[in-house]
């Protein structure tokens, strides 16, 4: 079985396993106690903090260990907002942030604050000037991920940090996806990360808060972790997290070059091997091991099952693979296809042979799904004056897009196709299909049931 989902959780690094087992014998006691066992635990905790701080690029006393990357994000945002509450209650985030950031933003809005979402381009990239435009006199905090978790696009953190610094606004960087590859450049104020993303154990997050940043920890606090993460520290896991971070950093330069060559191979060959496929995300500013592509006329869940049967573990941003059954907010913000989306994220040490086998398997997996989803069109197509109407009510995407593709040639150039659909994913997938197939998306209009999407044939 080839595991190609390291962006969700990387396999436990051998160094992390060794450090975890070794520290069970020495790191079980309370590091706040002065007796011998407590002192031993304190030595391990302090050494781990120093190692992690060096990798982050901050002082040890600026770094706290939390119970997860999500908890680090929630604590960091809440503390920074509370510390600057006299400034205002305005938060800036990008439209493609991790759900932990967006959930914090929703909580602020529910409490009466305000949030500005900065848009991204079709590659998932923010414009630093857009952050500058979003800044207000009452802006308390801005957030930006260092690299996107779904498509791998790396963000211009340094430029955004400079814009925010000039305005006196702290910037929180979610570095979960990138920290294993290197420190985050730029004059950031707060940083969060998660150990299981770089091969450390799950249940360990990092929260760095620069000296001078106004921060007020929320909720009950105690003397541990500067009051930012109450409760007994999981010292064995923390030691393993710091040890594995140092280990992957030592391998990062060589392994990044190797994985980038493998993902470049996938990026170049997928559009040649699979018809109607589009590689998404920035082609240059991206993580070394991540490549994401979308296939027209494919159900993402069905494709993942096909690939799983062939021995490949991959993930998808398709709506049908999420517990909410709604299109990925990242793909929606980028304006790319949400169905038939596959993210390949290669772990350290991925074999070239596995990538070649994946490229061999992928075309027949896509073909199998498309064959299963192929449906006759005649029962769903009617003429309405000069407009061809495709009735896809009650049908999940990608069926509405499949039926649109089958009938677009039946209208003259300049003619219209009206697609009726009650699947939320169609609002994203039909415009994305038009972009990919060089047809004109006219817009949407209310219908008696669902929504009508108008498409004009251009070629």
* C-alpha closest to that of 100 among 72, 65, 75, 70: 70
- How far apart, in whole angstroms, are the C-alpha atoms of residue 454 and residue 438? 14
Which pairs count as long-range contacts for 331-334, CB under 8 Å and 24+ apart, including other chains? 331/150, 331/280, 331/294, 331/428, 332/428, 333/95, 333/96, 333/119, 333/120, 333/124, 334/96, 334/120, 334/121, 334/122, 334/123, 334/124, 334/151, 334/280
- The pair of structure tokens assigned to 193 is 């990360």
Q: 272 in helix, strand or coil?
A: helix
Token pair, residue 131, equals: 């952050």
Q: Who contacts 110 (Cβ-Cβ below 8 Å, separation ≥6)?
A: none
Helix (H) / strand (E) element for 24: namely: helix 14-26
Joined together, the tokens standing for residue 339 give: 């169905």
C-alpha atoms less than 13 angstroms from C-alpha of 133 in its C-beta half-sphere? 9
User: How crowded is the C-beta side of 248, counted as CA atoms within 13 Å?
Assistant: 29
Q: Is 320 part of the annotated catalytic residue set?
A: yes
- 286 has which bridge partners? 153
Contacts of 97 (CB under 8 A, 6+ apart): 143, 144, 145, 174
Q: What's the angle, vertex CA 178, arms to CA 302 and CA 21, rounded to 5?
A: 90
Residue in 58, 143, 164, 320 annotated catalytic: 320
- Nearest CA-CA partner of 58 in 240, 241, 162, 207: 207
- CA 273 to the chain's CA centroid: 26
Reading the block at residue 421, the tokens are 């659909």
DSSP 205: E
Q: Which residues are catalytic?
A: 320
């Amino acid at each position: 079985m080839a595991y190609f989902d390291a962006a969700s959780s990387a396999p436990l690094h051998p160094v992390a396993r060794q450090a975890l087992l070794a520290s069970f014998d020495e790191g079980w006691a309370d590091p706040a106690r002065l007796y011998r066992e407590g002192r031993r635990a304190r030595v391990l905790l302090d050494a781990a903090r120093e190692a992690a701080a060096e990798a982050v690029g901050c002082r040890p006393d600026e770094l706290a260990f939390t119970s997860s990357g999500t908890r680090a994000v929630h604590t960091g945002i809440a503390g920074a907002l509370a510390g600057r509450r006299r400034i205002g209650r305005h938060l800036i985030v990008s439209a493609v942030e991790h759900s932990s950031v967006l959930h914090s933003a929703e909580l602020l809005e529910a409490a009466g604050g305000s949030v500005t979402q900065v848009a991204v381009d079709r590659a998932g990239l923010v414009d630093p000037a857009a952050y500058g435009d979003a800044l207000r006199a009452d802006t308390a905090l801005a957030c930006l991920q260092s690299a996107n978790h779904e498509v791998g696009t790396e963000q211009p953190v340094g430029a955004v940090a400079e814009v925010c610094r000039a305005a006196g606004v702290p910037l929180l960087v979610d570095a979960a996806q990138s920290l294993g590859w290197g420190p985050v450049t730029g004059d950031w104020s707060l940083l969060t990360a998660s150990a299981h993303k770089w091969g450390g154990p799950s249940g360990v997050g990092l929260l760095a808060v620069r000296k001078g940043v106004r921060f007020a920890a929320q909720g009950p606090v105690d003397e541990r972790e500067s009051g930012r993460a109450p409760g007994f520290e999981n010292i064995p896991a923390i030691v393993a997290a710091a040890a594995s971070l140092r280990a992957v950093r030592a391998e990062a330069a060589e392994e990044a070059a190797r994985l980038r060559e493998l993902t470049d191979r996938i990026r170049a060959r997928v559009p040649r091997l699979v018809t109607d496929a589009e590689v998404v995300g920035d082609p240059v500013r991206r993580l070394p091991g991540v490549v994401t592509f979308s296939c027209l006329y494919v159900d993402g869940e069905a494709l993942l099952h096909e690939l799983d049967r062939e021995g490949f573990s991959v993930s998808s941003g398709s709506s049908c693979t999420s517990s909410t059954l709604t299109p990925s907010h990242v793909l929606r913000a980028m304006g790319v296809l949400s169905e038939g989306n596959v993210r390949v994220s290669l772990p350290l040490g991925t074999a070239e042979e596995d990538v070649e086998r994946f490229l061999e398997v992928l075309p027949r997996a896509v073909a199998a799904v498309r064959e299963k989803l192929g449906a006759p069109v005649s029962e769903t197509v009617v003429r309405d004056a000069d407009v061809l109407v495709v009735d896809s009510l009650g049908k999940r995407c990608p069926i509405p897009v499949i039926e649109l593709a089958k009938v677009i040639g039946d209208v003259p150039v300049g003619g219209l196709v009206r697609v009726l659909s009650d699947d939320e994913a169609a609002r994203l997938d039909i415009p994305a299909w038009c972009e990919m197939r060089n047809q004109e998306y006219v817009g949407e209009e209310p219908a008696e049931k669902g929504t009508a999407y108008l498409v004009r044939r251009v070629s």
